[in-house]
């Protein structure tokens, strides 16, 4: 198993849904950067469960304890380790799943992979809980990027069949992104957000769940970041984003839509904006040949509906080798998309800071 990501900024994530703690080591952080712990805490709160009606009732305050890497609040060049202790675990909720894999979950595949020794409580290491340490690492990277004027924010582009507007690919700016990050329910059009919340409530009442799409923007990136082939922005961002449970797809710029366009429409014309080279449209989403163009960077991530639903489902008894029906008790989000928004921002921040550090070569 490799829960380690990165080349220059390397993160190593550990913990299981109900282990003593979950946490992360961030290795390679440059020295001399002050970390605002309150800001980090505020960032983590956006991911934390239990804070509103559409998320799981499991309440984890998610207060990270920083064990190393800071001196007087400033990075000292040594690996930073932060842990979150488990405070509200109820592992008994998961007793029934020990023998019967939950549809849509990794219970079955993990059991094969780890020969039955995987931690079965709450999905073990394959739980969404592990996005908490991802957000710690990402929250720190976001602060370092912000020092250089790079802002990252995401919004919910759709929940089920309810859609928000897209970013303005050409004109989105840092201010807009900062405002977006302060929203309790991060959408561009609040009326769309309300309809999304309705859809979530409906799904919950039905004992069901919903997926959605998250759209992420990065502004302030210099041109010339990334490399062709296997170190492109897309490879790097995809390489970490697929580490977030429930992600099923990723696209950059106009992505799958580009496949139905002709080249004359899809190509973005260059022009001079004073002394700067820009493009009039931004179908390329800020990346050409794996390398940033200086235009805003965009990508979208598809998230499947939470597999944990209250409805009865069909599964098997592994021990008895026969089909059975199961019901999943416990506390679960009818839609994890809102809580995944900061995770996507975190993942993007880690990938980009890692590339940025390499690019200063």
Residues within window 277-296 making contact with its own copies, judged by CB under 8 A: 277, 279-280, 283-284, 287-294
Looking at the Cβ atoms of 185 and 242, the one nearer to its own copies is 242
Give the one residue of 136, 144, 196, 213 binding its own copies; rule: CB under 8 A.
213
**Checking phi first, is residue 125 left (phi over 0); if not, alpha (psi -120 to 50) or beta?**
alpha
Residue 27 and residue 350: Cα distance in Å, rounded? Answer: 12
Q: How far is the CB of 90 from its own copies (least distance, A)?
A: 17
Give the one residue of 60, 62, 268, 345 binding its own copies; rule: CB under 8 A.
268
Of residues 125 through 144, those in contact with its own copies by CB under 8 A are: 125-126, 130
Neighbours of 322 (CB within 10 A): 8
Looking at the Cβ atoms of 10 and 183, the one nearer to its own copies is 10
Q: How far is the CB of 345 from its own copies (least distance, A)?
A: 17
Give the count of residues interacting with its own copies (CB under 8 A).
Answer: 148
| Interaction of residue 106 with its own copies, rule CB under 8 A | yes
Q: How far is the CB of 172 from its own copies (least distance, A)?
A: 19
Piece in contact with its own copies (CB under 8 A), picked from 36-44, 63-71, 173-181, 183-191: 63-71
Q: How far is the CB of 256 from its own copies (least distance, A)?
A: 4
Q: How far is the CB of 121 from its own copies (least distance, A)?
A: 8
For the range 274-279, what are the long-range contacts, defined as Cβ-Cβ under 8 Å and sequence gap of 24 or more?
A: 277/223, 279/170
CB contact set of 360 (below 8 Å; sequence gap of 6+): none
Dihedral sign of CA atoms 74, 76, 81, 85 in order: negative
Residue 102 and residue 316: Cα distance in Å, rounded? Answer: 9
Neighbours of 78 (CB within 10 A): 13
Q: How far is the CB of 182 from its own copies (least distance, A)?
A: 25
Task: Tell me the DSSP string of 165-195.
Answer: PPP-TTT--HHHHHHHHT-SS--SSHHHHHH
Nearest to 220 by CA among 172, 282, 268: 172
Residue 311 and residue 13: Cα distance in Å, rounded? Answer: 33
Q: How far is the CB of 224 from its own copies (least distance, A)?
A: 4
Looking at the Cβ atoms of 10 and 45, the one nearer to its own copies is 10
Binding mask 298-337 for its own copies (x = CB under 8 A): ----xxxxxxxx-x-xxxx-x--xxx--------------
Binding mask 231-260 for its own copies (x = CB under 8 A): xx-xx--xxx-xx-x-xxxxxxxxxx-xxx
Give the one residue of 38, 147, 263, 319 binding its own copies; rule: CB under 8 A.
263
Residue 86 and residue 21: Cα distance in Å, rounded? Answer: 5
Give the one residue of 46, 47, 105, 155 binding its own copies; rule: CB under 8 A.
105
DSSP secondary-structure letter at 275?
T
Of residues 12 through 31, those in contact with its own copies by CB under 8 A are: 12-16, 19-23, 25, 27-28, 30-31
Q: How far is the CB of 160 from its own copies (least distance, A)?
A: 6
Give the one residue of 87, 109, 171, 205 binding its own copies; rule: CB under 8 A.
109
CB contact set of 202 (below 8 Å; sequence gap of 6+): none
Contact 213, 300 (CB under 8 A): yes
Residue 166 and residue 216: Cα distance in Å, rounded? Answer: 10
Of residues 161 through 180, those in contact with its own copies by CB under 8 A are: 161
| Interaction of residue 64 with its own copies, rule CB under 8 A | no
| Interaction of residue 10 with its own copies, rule CB under 8 A | yes
SS3 324: strand
Give φ, ψ of 118 to 5 degrees: -60, 150
């Amino acid at each position: 198993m490799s829960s380690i990501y990165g080349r220059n900024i390397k993160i190593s994530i550990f913990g299981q849904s109900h282990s003593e703690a979950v946490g992360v080591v961030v290795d390679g952080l440059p020295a001399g950067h002050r970390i605002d712990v309150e800001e980090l805490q505020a960032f983590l709160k956006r991911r934390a469960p239990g804070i509103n009606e559409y998320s799981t009732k499991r309440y984890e305050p998610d207060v990270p304890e920083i064990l190393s890497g800071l001196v007087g609040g400033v990075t000292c060049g040594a690996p930073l380790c932060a842990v979150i202790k488990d405070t509200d675990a109820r592992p008994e909720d998961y007793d029934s799943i020990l023998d019967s894999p939950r549809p849509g979950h990794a219970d079955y595949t993990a059991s094969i992979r780890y020969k039955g020794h995987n931690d079965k409580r709450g999905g073990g290491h394959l739980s969404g809980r592990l996005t908490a340490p991802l957000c710690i690492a990402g929250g720190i990277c976001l602060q370092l990027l912000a020092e250089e004027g790079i802002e990252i924010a995401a919004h919910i582009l759709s929940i089920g069949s309810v859609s928000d507007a897209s970013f303005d690919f050409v004109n989105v700016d840092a201010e807009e992104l900062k405002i977006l990050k302060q929203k309790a329910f991060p959408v561009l059009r609040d009326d769309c957000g309300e309809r999304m919340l309705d859809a979530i409530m409906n799904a919950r009442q039905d004992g069901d769940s919903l997926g959605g799409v998250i759209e992420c923007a990065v502004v302030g990136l210099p041109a010339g970041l990334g490399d062709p082939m296997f170190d492109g922005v897309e490879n790097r961002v995809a390489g970490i984003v697929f580490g977030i449970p429930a992600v099923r797809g990723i696209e950059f710029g106009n992505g799958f839509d580009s496949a139905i366009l002709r080249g004359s429409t899809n190509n973005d014309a260059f022009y001079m904006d004073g002394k700067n080279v820009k493009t009039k449209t931004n179908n390329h989403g800020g990346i050409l040949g794996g390398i940033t163009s200086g235009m805003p960077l965009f990508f979208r991530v598809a998230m499947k509906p939470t597999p944990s639903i209250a409805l009865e489902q069909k599964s098997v008894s592994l021990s008895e080798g026969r089909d059975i029906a199961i019901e999943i008790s416990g506390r679960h989000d009818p839609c994890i998309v809102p809580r995944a928004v900061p995770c996507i921002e975190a993942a993007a921040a880690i990938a980009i800071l890692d590339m940025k550090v390499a690019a200063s070569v």
